Amino acid sequence: MFVTKEYNRDKALAYAKRWALDRNPLFFSFNGIGGDCTNFVSQCIFAGGCVMNYTPTYGWYYISSSDRTPSWSGVQFFYDFIVNNKEQGPFATEVTADRIERGDVIQLGNEEGLFYHSLIVIDKQDNEIYIASHSDDYYNRKLSSYDYAYIRYLHIEGIRFEIQGRDTCFETLISGGVEPFEDE
């Protein structure tokens, strides 16, 4: 049986602030080979929950650039995982713009309906949403400055886990340390 804990939006946002304009050496950068946007969003969400789902192929995890699930770095795979996840790890609901919160995810799509970009919400003020992203790197960019045909808003509902004690990895993660994925 899984236990659900609250997604720590403050830690996800602290991670976004620290790494939006840089690259954490713990993670491979996918710039130039498909983009780093969803990889960065996954890192932020991981910082806010410190639980991965190690189910091969259909889970959500990163061990290395060659040992990860498609959902860690692929826009559509991420969406499919996070809105359908009933197991360990983060889970989300697609919502309207008025329900989006700091630490949530926005995905942008083109005219053909293909979603191609993931962003993390860092603030909402006066009907404007501000984001952080990789590929291109931004922190505190207005969502209204983007050109897109479709948009979807993903509200992170929580984090499911089986083993206690995994949320202490935040300090190692944010500092770019060497072993954030061990149980502490």
Quick: pLDDT tens for 80-124. Answer: 999 999 999 999 999 999 999 999 999 999 999 999 999 999 999
pLDDT attached to residue 183: 45
User: Which residue positions in the chain have pLDDT lower than 50?
Assistant: 180, 182-184
Measured distance CA(125)–CA(170) in Å, rounded: 27
What secondary structure letter does DSSP report for 3?
Answer: E
> For the chain, what are the domain ranges?
3-175
Give the pLDDT score at 72. Answer: 97
Q: What is the pTM of this model?
A: 0.87
Taking residue 100's Cβ as centre, other Cβ atoms within 10 Å add up to 18
Q: Residue 184's pLDDT is what?
A: 41
What is the C-alpha to C-alpha distance for residues 47 and 38, in angstroms, rounded to an integer? 14
The mean predicted confidence, pLDDT, of the chain is 91
The pLDDT assigned to 167 comes to 57
Cα–Cα distance, 161 to 43 (Å, whole number):
17
